[in-house]
Structure 1
Amino acid sequence: MQFKQIVGQSAVKQRLINSVKENRVSHAQLFLGPEGSGNLALAVAYAQYVSCEDKQVDDSCGVCSSCRKYMKLAHPDLHFSYPFFAKHKDDTALTFIEQWREALLANNYLNLDGWRGYLEADNKQANINIAECHQIIKKLSLKPFESVYKVLILWLPEYLDKEGNSLLKIIEEPQPNTLFLLVAQNQDQILNTILSRTQLVKVPALDYEDIKTYLIEHGQTQHAAEEIAYLSNGNMAEALSMTDQDSSNYHQLFMKWLRFCFGNKGSDVIPFTDQLSKLGRENQKNFLRYGISFVRECCLLSAGAGNLVHLPAAELDTAQKMITVMNMAQSEAISTELEKAHYHVERNANPKILFLDVSLQLIKILHFKTFPQGAHYIPN
């Protein structure tokens, strides 16, 4: 994998390249970034650059023997560790290496849900077990086979339990020319004993423009790209997932829903909830996520923070009109109802009943200007 295959993150890429040029390669590094930021892809591209036999100014060459093997994730000095759903207590990451290569080659922005789809996970919990920790120690105890560096990329160390303490010695005192790259999303869930032994590489969420440009270059219309980039909130894994869903215009659907509820048009609301119930679970989640994001932007506009709003021009115009008939208290109450609905959709609630119930709550808030029992909103 080369740096040029990774969307955005130019500052992080340059920092990584400079560390190699200036011979400042730390033996243990933590690539910390939110889901969909590309931190896993950056770690792989960095490992490929370190091992490249003909390094270019801003990337690995992509054609030398080492790069060709890295592009297939099959270099003898490249090792991976990751959470898996063990069937037997002696299962390790190596048991699932073929599925792992297939998953990562298919999607540079692999997340745990995507990885689960390549395995027979059933209801098992993902983890990195003690057998895998022993396997890591064994791998890193050997000298490099072909390259200058032996590299181990550990994805989601958050799934290391106390067994992770068995890795402390190999992290702190590795064999010469060993590179240990951890790729994480949540710093608070990593063992402090491991965290303190690594050099931090912060990877921010992707920019809206970077995601939009990528989607347009890969066949999305400008409108669809803008909507998906906005909804994904810097998460490329989410953005790619949305491109696989039906190309619904969430903005028009959401505005239609609010208009029906504002006008208390029961004859329109009921067939509309039927329509929403047939969207499919992922589209329902995306639709609700869009609604939550749109209402949040309306709150920012109401608060006079228009400079923080990131809506496409047409939707910004709609939002400016919306805040003339929907005050801050109503916006907050609507957002809460949508968040609760999203929670229940994720847990397979009956969509027809769910969307009808939410519609009734929105009618109370928008038409009758009353709030759900137990809510603590102060109307303007």
Structure 2
Amino acid sequence: MQFCDITGQEAIKKQLIQTVQENRVSHARLFLGPEGSGSLPLALAYAQYICCENPSETDSCGECASCRKYSRLIHPDLHFSYPFFAKHKEDTAISFIEEWREAFLANPYMGLDEWRGQLEADNKQANINIAECHQIIKKLSLKPFESEYKVLIMWLPEYLDKEGNTLLKIIEEPPQKTLFLLVAQSQDQILNTILSRTQLMKVPRLTDQNVRDFLTEKLHLPDEQASRIAYLSEGNIQLAVNLSREESNNNFGLFSDWLRMCFSNKGIQIIEFAETVSRLGRENQKNFLRYGTKLLREVLMVLSGAENLVHLPQNEEAFVKNFSRTMDPAKAEALVAQLEEAHYHVERNANPKILFLDVSLQIVRILKFNTLPKGTQYIYS
């Protein structure tokens, strides 16, 4: 992974390169940025630049033996740690290294949900267990095989939990020429004992233009479609990729029909809808709910006075304008809350048929009978 392969983040790239050129390489650096911002590929490009045999002023060469091995994630002095779904207590990250390489090389901007989809996660919770911590200490205690530096890239150290205290000594006093590169999304969830031992680098969200460039150059989407998705993705390339997939689905037709049948209180059709959605699969159900939430937020924008909807397809724009005429902010807020709660329960493997039937009945109460849940923010006389 070279810096030139990473979308945007030019200021961060220059800062990282400068630390190497001025010999100010910190032994423990924390890349903190939101999902889809490029924190993980930045960490890898930084490690590759440090270990490159012929680096230029702006990037690693991409051609030396070290760079070629880094590009395939097979360098003997490059180690990864990441959350996984252990089947046995002795499982470590190395047990899933082939899946990790495949997932990362296919999508360096992936989130935990996408990584989970690569594994047979069942109902297990992701974590970085004590066996993995001991394995890290063991690996980093060895001398480098080829490069000057040994590098450990830990993705999502938020999942270390209290086991992370096992790593405190080696992070604070690592073996010579050993680098810890941590890539996190939530500073509040990282152990303070680890946080205090790292040099923080905040990675900002990408701009809409950055995401648009990624979609046109990497996914070869038309400019108009890329601009629309970039606006809705809020700087998250992983979300933009998901939205680009959704556009080939009929989420709009399914969602608009759902709201109409709930508004008309068509019981038989609602039951059939719940059965249909229950067969879509968990990831498709989550994408469907995210899509609906996004569309309802556009309704809220219209109700708040926004008129510019050029980022929406023509059918979505017409639906949002028409639907907003029958809505008020309180109803729209209540509907968004119902979809977000349903998304939460889908992630936790709720029975989809029962879940979507229940959500449908709640939507009927809101749209048909004007009954709002307690705690709704907007109150009108």
CA contact (8 A) 1:226 1:312 kept: no
CA contact (8 A) 2:123 2:349 kept: no
- 1:201 maps to a residue whose letter is M
1:38 equivalent to 2:38? Answer yes
Q: Which residue of 2 aligns with 1:234?
A: 235
- Relative to structure 1, the CA distance from residue 121 to residue 321 in structure 2 (aligned partners, 3 Å threshold; closer, same or farther) is closer
Q: Which residue of 2 aligns with 1:175?
A: 175
- Displacement, 1:242? 5.0
The alignment partner of 1:161 has SS state of helix
CA deviations 1:263-298 (Å, max 9, x no partner) are: 666787676666655544433322221221222233
C-alpha distance in 1 between matches for 2:268 and 2:116 = 42
- The alignment yields a C-alpha RMSD, in angstroms, of 3.4
- Relative to structure 1, the CA distance from residue 361 to residue 97 in structure 2 (aligned partners, 3 Å threshold; closer, same or farther) is closer
The alignment partner of 2:343 has SS state of helix
CA contact (8 A) 1:85 1:126 kept: yes
- Relative to structure 1, the CA distance from residue 372 to residue 121 in structure 2 (aligned partners, 3 Å threshold; closer, same or farther) is closer
C-alpha distance in 2 between matches for 1:221 and 1:240 = 14
Deviates more, 1:197-206 or 1:359-368: 359-368
C-alpha distance in 2 between matches for 1:356 and 1:147 = 58
- 1:295 maps to a residue whose letter is L
1:337 equivalent to 2:338? Answer yes
Q: Which residue of 1 aligns with 2:134?
A: 134
Q: Which residue of 1 aligns with 2:164?
A: 164
- Displacement, 1:44? 0.7
- Displacement, 1:221? 4.8
What percent identity do the matched residue pairs reach?
64
- Relative to structure 1, the CA distance from residue 303 to residue 116 in structure 2 (aligned partners, 3 Å threshold; closer, same or farther) is closer
CA contact (8 A) 2:36 2:109 kept: yes
- Displacement, 1:253? 4.2
- 1:127 maps to a residue whose letter is N
- Relative to structure 1, the CA distance from residue 92 to residue 342 in structure 2 (aligned partners, 3 Å threshold; closer, same or farther) is closer
Structure 2, unaligned stretches of length 5 or more? none
Structure 1, unaligned stretches of length 5 or more? none
- Displacement, 1:97? 2.8
- 2:333 maps to a residue whose letter is E
- Relative to structure 1, the CA distance from residue 177 to residue 211 in structure 2 (aligned partners, 3 Å threshold; closer, same or farther) is same
Q: TM-score, normalised by structure 2?
A: 0.83
The alignment partner of 1:31 has SS state of strand
- Relative to structure 1, the CA distance from residue 107 to residue 294 in structure 2 (aligned partners, 3 Å threshold; closer, same or farther) is same
Deviates more, 1:7-16 or 1:240-249: 240-249
Matches within 5 A, 1:308-347: 311-312=311-312, 314=314, 315=316, 319-320=320-321, 322-347=323-348
1:29 equivalent to 2:49? Answer no
- Relative to structure 1, the CA distance from residue 216 to residue 259 in structure 2 (aligned partners, 3 Å threshold; closer, same or farther) is farther
C-alpha distance in 2 between matches for 1:188 and 1:266 = 45
Matches within 5 A, 1:11-30: 11-30=11-30
- Relative to structure 1, the CA distance from residue 219 to residue 162 in structure 2 (aligned partners, 3 Å threshold; closer, same or farther) is same
The alignment partner of 1:152 has SS state of strand
- Relative to structure 1, the CA distance from residue 223 to residue 197 in structure 2 (aligned partners, 3 Å threshold; closer, same or farther) is same
The alignment partner of 2:298 has SS state of helix
Q: Which residue of 2 aligns with 1:93?
A: 93
- Displacement, 1:182? 0.8
- Relative to structure 1, the CA distance from residue 374 to residue 210 in structure 2 (aligned partners, 3 Å threshold; closer, same or farther) is closer
Matches within 5 A, 1:210-225: 210-217=210-217, 218-221=219-222, 225=226
Deviates more, 1:282-291 or 1:262-271: 262-271
- 2:182 maps to a residue whose letter is L
Deviates more, 1:338-347 or 1:198-207: 338-347
Matches within 5 A, 1:70-149: 70-149=70-149
- Displacement, 1:130? 2.9
